[in-house]
Structure 1
Amino acid sequence: MWLLTALSYFTTFLAGIAALIAALYVVSFAIPKAAFFARLIAFYFSILVTCTFILPVCLIFRLVGQGGSGQWAGGRLFRYLVQITMGISFEIQDPHGVLDKVRPAVLIGNHQAEFDLIMLGTIFPRNCSVTAKASLKKVPFLGWFMLLTKAIFIERANSKNARATMKKAGDQMATMRQSVYVFPEGTRSYTKDPVLLPFKKGGFHLAVEAGAPIVPCVVANYSHLIWLKEFVLRPGKIPVKVLEPIPTKGLTAADVDDLARKTRDLMLDELVHLTAEAQGKVHAPLPGSKKTK
């Protein structure tokens, strides 16, 4: 009985948020700024709805032997909710069909803001997850979700044995043929310009240990659509370019610095030009960019 009561309250709560979003969109015809708050609330509303329904879906996937598809399924649900409630979408350009053909792989992407969650929901192929610190296994709901979806857990606290930790994670990737998505910048850049923060090396060590290729995924700078500091949150399409895989077979830890540098250079070049296309501008090459188109 208490479960039905709780479900009734929660359903009413969700309906109330949905009504608030709709009301703000109506008000935006007279007060344009109201649309910003409507889309911002819609973003977190979509996260809440996705989290509510994805755990039982992931459990079903796991029971039928498809646990690695859980994050793919949750991401797609989130992506469609956001398209409906916010009008924002990420358009994947994968000319070589890498996302469908290459597995396992370490997908490396630039990280601009929390709205990259929408991008992950769009780009995640089946049998792909994120890396996470091992302690998250014990966190209710989040830990359960990650266990069900075969997340790659890393003992980050064990810095004295980092190589062994990466080898274990790499073996898990190879055994399960599980790809992972990594943000090597380590934090959100929150920048208006097409730039990259320095890369951390963890994802590259993981790729070398697993013998998996690096797949660079470049997201155009989307500050023209999303810039919270100035209350900008507009509908639109944001391009994401999947570059050709960079092989790691035969590489060792000694090669990681060069591998990270090469990947970052390729991504920065593409970021400058992809952003120019997305924003309809011509960007001069930024410091550190190799191309001079």
Structure 2
Amino acid sequence: MTILLYTLATPPTLILLLHALTIVLPPKIAQITFFLAFLLTSWIAMLLCAGYGVVASLCLRIVGYGGLSQWTAGRAFKWTMWLGTGVTFQVVEGGRIEGGRRGGQDALLTRPAVFVGNHQTELDVLMLGCVFPQYCSVTAKKSLKWLPFLGWFMALSKTVFIDRANRTSARAAFDGAANTMRTDRQSVYIFPEGTRSYASSPELLPFKKGAFHLAIQAQVPIVPIVTATYAHVLNVKARRFCPGTIDVSVLPPIPTEGMTPADAETLCSRTQNAMMDELVRLSHVSGKQNGEPLPRATGVAGRGELRKRA
């Protein structure tokens, strides 16, 4: 029992020690120390919430609400991280309307849908916890399935595991996801960039087309979600962290009814352009970029000009 207590007490004690050291150490070293404290706190929070997610997933599946598993675990992670690190994400009103469809919280209620978002760092897991709609599941690398706690939780909560090295297996996984979307009205969240960009300015990596083929196959809308560049909060390369609130904009759904696989390229380009425009806008109104005000929607500056000014 004594060994167990010491084991449980060691991580929080180490975190407190790291925070205390930031007060007396030189600024550059204190910055790295604070970053390490953030990393340790984040890992502990993730393990705790993954453990909670395993129990919650089992209980929810028993009562027929397994589709809520990732939503409830995500919200637990949201509040745990807010209390432990002081960082969170919030949905802001973008004001964009397309074809009578609005973005923001209204768009998050779209069900089923393929939600797509830009991928900056590992902190995007917290973004999902803050923004994730009900009855939605993520896609993940197949290798994560075998991780203790986190992998167990993901396996129990309808995660779509993708074997990127096996195209046949990956296609079968998307076929299963499309069927689940139609029968259970379960949405899917995908990072179309495929990897983290670690961007310090508004930029997107090239999009992979899997998410758009899935949306067309299931005949469900694409809902783009854009997270403001947050290098001022977390810069992994510089080993720097600063607590804060990061803005997220949800764009109006893009319908796919009547589209065929031949339309995936056009749908992908349309989505990426809309997300890039919004990412540039967010960098001016909520990020730590140059702060130059953008023109109103009735202004003369076009997409190229807005991107150039970023």
Question: Which TM-score tier does this pair reach, normalised by the shorter chain?
Answer: 0.7 to 0.9
Residue aligning to 1:210:
218
Asked whether the 8 Å contact 1:58–1:67 carries over to 2, the reply is yes
Structure 1 unaligned segments of length 5 or more: list them. none
Q: How far did 1:118 drift? A: 0.8
CA distance in 1, matches of 2:135, 2:193: 23
Between Structure 1 and Structure 2, how many residues are aligned? 284
Q: How far did 1:161 drift? A: 8.1
CA distance in 2, matches of 1:161, 1:38: 39
Shift in CA distance, 177/153, structure 1 to aligned 2, threshold 3 Å: farther
CA distance in 1, matches of 2:60, 2:185: 16
Which range moves more in the overlay, 271-280 or 172-181?
Answer: 271-280
Which range moves more in the overlay, 143-152 or 242-251?
Answer: 143-152
SS of residue matched to 2:217: helix
- CA RMSD in angstroms comes to 2.6
Paired residue type of 2:82: Q
Residue aligning to 1:111:
119
- Where does 1:68-147 land on structure 2 (aligned, <5 Å)? 68-93=67-92, 96-132=104-140, 141-147=149-155
Residue aligning to 2:22:
28
2:22 counterpart of 1:14: no
Out of 231, 238, 254, which is 1:230 matched to?
238
Residue aligning to 2:291:
282
Q: How far did 1:143 drift? A: 4.8
Q: How far did 1:13 drift? A: 2.7
SS of residue matched to 2:232: coil
- Where does 1:140-155 land on structure 2 (aligned, <5 Å)? 141-153=149-161
TM-score, normalised relative to structure 2 = 0.82
Asked whether the 8 Å contact 1:217–1:241 carries over to 2, the reply is yes
Q: How far did 1:284 drift? A: 9.9
Residue aligning to 2:297:
none
Shift in CA distance, 14/121, structure 1 to aligned 2, threshold 3 Å: farther
Which range moves more in the overlay, 159-168 or 126-135?
Answer: 159-168
Which range moves more in the overlay, 143-152 or 52-61?
Answer: 143-152
Identity of aligned residues (%): 44
Asked whether the 8 Å contact 1:40–1:233 carries over to 2, the reply is no
Asked whether the 8 Å contact 1:192–1:221 carries over to 2, the reply is yes
2:42 counterpart of 1:43: yes
Paired residue type of 2:63: V
Residue aligning to 1:179:
187
CA distance in 1, matches of 2:235, 2:265: 33
Asked whether the 8 Å contact 2:160–2:173 carries over to 1, the reply is no
SS of residue matched to 1:255: helix
Q: How far did 1:87 drift? A: 0.7
Which range moves more in the overlay, 150-159 or 248-257?
Answer: 150-159
Q: How far did 1:47 drift? A: 1.2
CA distance in 2, matches of 1:177, 1:16: 44
SS of residue matched to 2:24: coil
Q: How far did 1:142 drift? A: 4.6
TM-score, normalised relative to structure 1 = 0.87
Structure 2 unaligned segments of length 5 or more: list them. 94-102, 295-301
Asked whether the 8 Å contact 2:51–2:149 carries over to 1, the reply is no
Paired residue type of 1:166: F
CA distance in 2, matches of 1:245, 1:22: 44
